[in-house]
Structure 1
Amino acid sequence: MNIVRDTPLPQAGKAVGIETLDMTMCFGGFTALDHVSVSIPAGTFHALLGENGAGKSTLVKCIMGFYHQTSGSLSVDGREVVVASPKDAAAYGLGMVYQHFTLVPSLTGAENLVISRAELPAVINWARERKALTAFMERMPFKIPLDSPVSELAAGEKQKLEIVKQLYLGRTFLVLDEPTSVLTPAEADEMLGLIRGMTERGELTVLMISHKFHEVTKFADAVSILRRGKLVGGGKVGELSTADMAAMMIGDVKLAELDTRVPVTDTAKPVLHVEQVKAPDRSGLKTIEIDKLTVHSGEIVGIAGISGNGQKELTEILAGQRPTERGSVSVNGEIYGATRPETRRNNVRFIPEEPLQNACAPRMTVSENLAFRTFDLKENGGDAIWLNKGKMKNRATSLISDFKVKTASSSSPIAALSGGNVQRAVLARELTGEVDLLIVSNPCFGLDFSAVAEIRARIMRARNAGAAVLLLSEDLDELLEMSDRIMVISEGKLVYETQARAADISVIGAHMAGHH
């Protein structure tokens, strides 16, 4: 298809606006996008909200030329255009920064920028390129070391470099897909503030996909909200409360409120105690050293940290999957090695990250996965010799209904369920019966709004019933909302502790980033 060049190519540094009119995208009989009309004027910062599957990424892929819409149109600066490929989108100044980095880690920032151009000479004149890059970076609000290999940059610097790359390529309309998911709060605020400054100066237009309401209210001018492929609302950010936005996103679903929190008493007994534990990390080059960590009955201790600072190793130690060089882990006052009898005796339950990979047998049925804790027990608690399929099925049916697990049947393979429903099934198994200690890792990562509220309420209920909860999460909002105490893990060590009620986000962020 020939591109319609009604629109002159964008001038460098002048923002373009776009508008979709009745944008519709069907995949066979499924309508992923249903007559969506969104207007994003030049020089504005627009947020796109919606649950998983609401149509956000479909809309963005139509704008960027990855999909060709079934019907409807796209206008750039008031002129209708046909964008048949990402190359066409680039010609109109439209660019996208993805959730996951696309930089080459072994090359420097400067090399990543230069090789991203469509036309490159066979021999690169680096003296000239460096001069041009220096002049270009002087116009940029971001300060990034361009001579270091990308692998040595912090996550915030990599994210800035991804944005700088799009600006270097002349893009003046940027789609940002959850741009702060790997950043500390301070890095996120700084980066979004700089981008906001560029929109205010008319150098850039931004469409940001986000699930963090505080970012939307702080940085965006306007918001559009999708639900089940339809545009269900939007408007100026100053005129909408977060409750309004949440209600539009999830419709008539009643959110499970977080239970009122019973205060942790001074006499609460310590359930989990980790003392002087040292173990190698995944690379084998560094160590994880947890000097002291205690979680009491009826308490949620949140562990905050940027991904890759030892959280995974800590959960593996507690799950008995990573041998330690020294130190001890005890539960209910006895040394704990995470064997099945110890886990059962002390009512320890686990909800790991990516539960389909780490807490399920994907090809086994929902019913079988729900029975992993109990299949070898008789009613009286003795060891069972035979599997009781009927009992397993009845128990699964009641758990599926109690935890609202959406599945075609209890005999479907668990891998056929959506992410939120796998998470609900694992919660059903782990939170049923007596729970003394619950270890949870990123329980809501990638889940939609209503699933998140439901899962957090379940964890809170376990805490209120007396469970000690260790919650590891990269979502600081989640930790502030759920925890009684927050500890920060950085480079394999616990470096800071605060009561959640008195927490200062900037102090937590500084410790997460290693400035302590």
Structure 2
Amino acid sequence: MSDLIPPQIEPTGAAKVEMLNFSKRFGALQALDDVSLTVEAGSFHALLGENGAGKSTLVKSLIGFYRPDTGSVMVDGRERAIGSPKDAAALGLGMIFQHFTVVPGMTVAENLALAQRDLGAFIDWKHERNKLADFMATAPFPLALDARVAELAAGEKQKLEILKALYAKRRFLVLDEPTSVLTPQEADEVLGRVKAMCRDGLLTVLIITHKFREVFGFCDEVTVLRRGRRTGAARVAATSRDELAGWMMGVATDAAALPAATSGQSTATAPVAAGGPARLALRGLVVDGHEGRRAIDGLSLEVMPGEIVGVAGVSGNGQRELLAALTGAMPVAGGEVAIDGQPYRPTRAQMERFGVRSLPEEPLHNGCVGRLSVAENLALRNFDRAPLARGAWLSRPAMRTQALAQIEAYRVKTPGPEAPIETLSGGNVQRAVLARELAPDPTPPRLLIVANPCFGLDFQATAEIHARLRAARDGGAGVLLISEDLDELLALSSRLLVLSHGHIAMACPAAQADIGAIGRAMAGDRHEPQAEAA
């Protein structure tokens, strides 16, 4: 009787996915409220929204990580039950996460083999190698099968993540901020190849991104969420940056109100102070990294008063060590550091004397004590000075008064100054740290060292932080801005430096920056002499 039942044919080609009336509540938080979204087969669809808008909850509900309170999923016109990621995989639905999930100690071939959903207890490597060779012959990103993943560049690891999904026969992919660690050329290559697969009817993509450049460069359609609701959707060709920003923020938005990193217009036009010493001068700086390697090797640069100097580079090229050395978290192994022409050592006393302030990457972990209150974290810079210090005692009323003023001035959303700072959203932690670091106590900052200030933050928080950095610059501070977001650097910086393997591989005025040249320099192709950095 079983011979009369035809074998089930596994579907191939791009999948059409419909998410209908999704709602999801976490305690008192309504994360999704009756959200519907259709991604047509073969389309490249963008999902936008501020942090907390519901993007991650929506896609994780689709993939089976969460179970929505209400809602249904249609795949190729048929309703499907998805109770786990395994159910989603069986339908050809997958997700590429923002952080790599490849196994560094294994080869490309081993990572690909492990990605299969029907992997048995044993692998017939002769048969598997033949399958892998056939797959690589038509893959959008051919990689050497025997290459060790730990030795791959970031761009190659991202390609491997996508290859894993394709080898596991995914027909619909969610890409979560897939270009955050890539050079511009790598980002264009990855998205361009994936776009070609969509155009050929082999794949459907839903991309979560904060970058309008990616939306308008690669996507067919776009949907915007705000506070768990769908506030807008359109064909990309029929909308604009202003309209999308308005949907994201819940207001009518014009180009004048947009932050430069989003509108594409640079506002780095403040005059640089003429004459006098550099606010920050590095001469032959050497910083030893982990495992004995040299992270910064003979670095020289200058930051003038009233200037934002941007430092670009793919993660892992010395940016973190540079920040750590200038703020005292790592020792300086060689070279000279001067502020306003005077030798500088990054001790707390000298940072106060020279007006050096910093906004580190991931400030909750690197610039705060999570279990302390908002008020206590805001007092970390001046707890030992009046009016907070009363002899050997700390004045709690004075600390609360200071916190309330800074919370109001920087619009920090918190239940109150006594709330643990770890309970705040990322954007509000960033606002609180900015309030502390930019406070004119005893004097306004003269040098501001900033690293990835808007990583993972929403549109509105990004706009506010950019405005604060410009205000510090306009007040005469020198700003050293280290960022992996090239759009942010081009929007804020007057000069741009590209860091590669601890050296400056390129230096140019931001207004004259060539994206192609920047990408080549980020990838390690050095064309310009170090002397031009200053």
Q: TM-score, normalised by structure 2?
A: 0.91
Report the secondary structure of 1:270's partner residue. Answer: coil
User: Hey, what's the Cα distance between the residues in 2 that align with 1:373 and 1:115?
Assistant: 49
Alignment match, 2:347: 339
Question: Gaps (5+ residues) in structure 1?
Answer: 1-7
**Matched-pair contact (CA < 8 Å) for 1:261–1:464:** no
Please say if 1:319 is aligned against 2:327. Answer: yes
Q: Residues 52-201 of structure 1 correspond to what in structure 2 (within 5 A)?
A: 52-201=51-200
Alignment match, 1:20: 19
Q: Out of 35-44 and 110-119, give the one that drifted further.
A: 110-119
Q: Out of 214-223 and 358-367, give the one that drifted further.
A: 358-367
Q: Residues 209-288 of structure 1 correspond to what in structure 2 (within 5 A)?
A: 209-252=208-251, 261-267=269-275, 269-288=277-296
**Matched-pair contact (CA < 8 Å) for 1:282–1:313:** no
Change (3 A) 1:56 1:68: same
Q: Out of 286-295 and 253-262, give the one that drifted further.
A: 253-262
Please say if 1:448 is aligned against 2:458. Answer: yes
Please say if 1:465 is aligned against 2:472. Answer: no
Match of 1:479 among 489, 500, 509: 489
**Matched-pair contact (CA < 8 Å) for 2:41–2:201:** yes
Amino acid at match of 2:476: G
1:115 offset after TM fit, Å?
2.2
Alignment match, 1:293: 301
Alignment match, 2:506: 496
Q: Residues 355-370 of structure 1 correspond to what in structure 2 (within 5 A)?
A: 355-370=363-378
Match of 2:417 among 385, 410, 414: 410
1:61 offset after TM fit, Å?
1.3
Amino acid at match of 1:310: G
Report the secondary structure of 1:158's partner residue. Answer: helix
User: Hey, what's the Cα distance between the residues in 2 that align with 1:128 and 1:257?
Assistant: 54
**Matched-pair contact (CA < 8 Å) for 1:290–1:494:** no
Match of 1:430 among 419, 437, 440: 437
User: Hey, what's the Cα distance between the residues in 2 that align with 1:214 and 1:384?
Assistant: 55
**Matched-pair contact (CA < 8 Å) for 1:9–1:93:** no
Cα shift readout 1:56-95 (whole Å, capped 9, x = no counterpart) = 1111112112222211211011111111111111111111
User: Hey, what's the Cα distance between the residues in 2 that align with 1:503 and 1:229?
Assistant: 38
User: Hey, what's the Cα distance between the residues in 1 that align with 2:476 and 2:469?
Assistant: 11
Please say if 1:421 is aligned against 2:428. Answer: yes
Change (3 A) 1:272 1:22: same
User: Hey, what's the Cα distance between the residues in 1 that align with 2:326 and 2:360?
Assistant: 11
Amino acid at match of 2:149: V
Cα shift readout 1:106-158 (whole Å, capped 9, x = no counterpart) = 11111111122233455433232222211111222212122101111111111
User: Hey, what's the Cα distance between the residues in 2 that align with 1:78 and 1:421?
Assistant: 42
User: Hey, what's the Cα distance between the residues in 2 that align with 1:470 and 1:181?
Assistant: 21
Amino acid at match of 2:415: A
1:256 offset after TM fit, Å?
7.4
Alignment match, 2:384: 376
Amino acid at match of 2:339: V
Amino acid at match of 1:452: T
Please say if 1:304 is aligned against 2:312. Answer: yes
**Matched-pair contact (CA < 8 Å) for 1:377–1:384:** no
1:327 offset after TM fit, Å?
1.1
Change (3 A) 1:287 1:419: closer
1:435 offset after TM fit, Å?
1.4
Report percent identity of matched pairs: 50
Q: TM-score, normalised by structure 1?
A: 0.94
Alignment match, 1:4: none
Question: Gaps (5+ residues) in structure 2?
Answer: 1-7, 261-266, 527-534
Change (3 A) 1:285 1:260: closer
Alignment match, 1:354: 362
Cα shift readout 1:355-414 (whole Å, capped 9, x = no counterpart) = 1222222222222221222222236x9995443332222121111100001111112222
Change (3 A) 1:253 1:9: farther
**Matched-pair contact (CA < 8 Å) for 1:224–1:233:** yes
User: Hey, what's the Cα distance between the residues in 2 that align with 1:385 and 1:290?
Assistant: 44
Change (3 A) 1:334 1:383: farther
Amino acid at match of 2:427: G
Change (3 A) 1:290 1:382: farther
Change (3 A) 1:27 1:429: closer
Query: Number of residue pairs matched?
Result: 508
**Matched-pair contact (CA < 8 Å) for 1:278–1:324:** yes
Amino acid at match of 1:460: R
Cα shift readout 1:212-267 (whole Å, capped 9, x = no counterpart) = 11001111100111111111111100111011111101113875756773222443
User: Hey, what's the Cα distance between the residues in 2 that align with 1:32 and 1:123?
Assistant: 42
Change (3 A) 1:256 1:177: closer
User: Hey, what's the Cα distance between the residues in 2 that align with 1:87 and 1:364?
Assistant: 41
Change (3 A) 1:385 1:69: closer
Q: Out of 21-30 and 207-216, give the one that drifted further.
A: 21-30
- Give 4+ residue runs of structure 1 displaced > 4 Å after superposition: 253-260, 381-385
Q: Out of 502-511 and 131-140, give the one that drifted further.
A: 131-140
Change (3 A) 1:383 1:273: farther
Report the secondary structure of 2:129's partner residue. Answer: helix
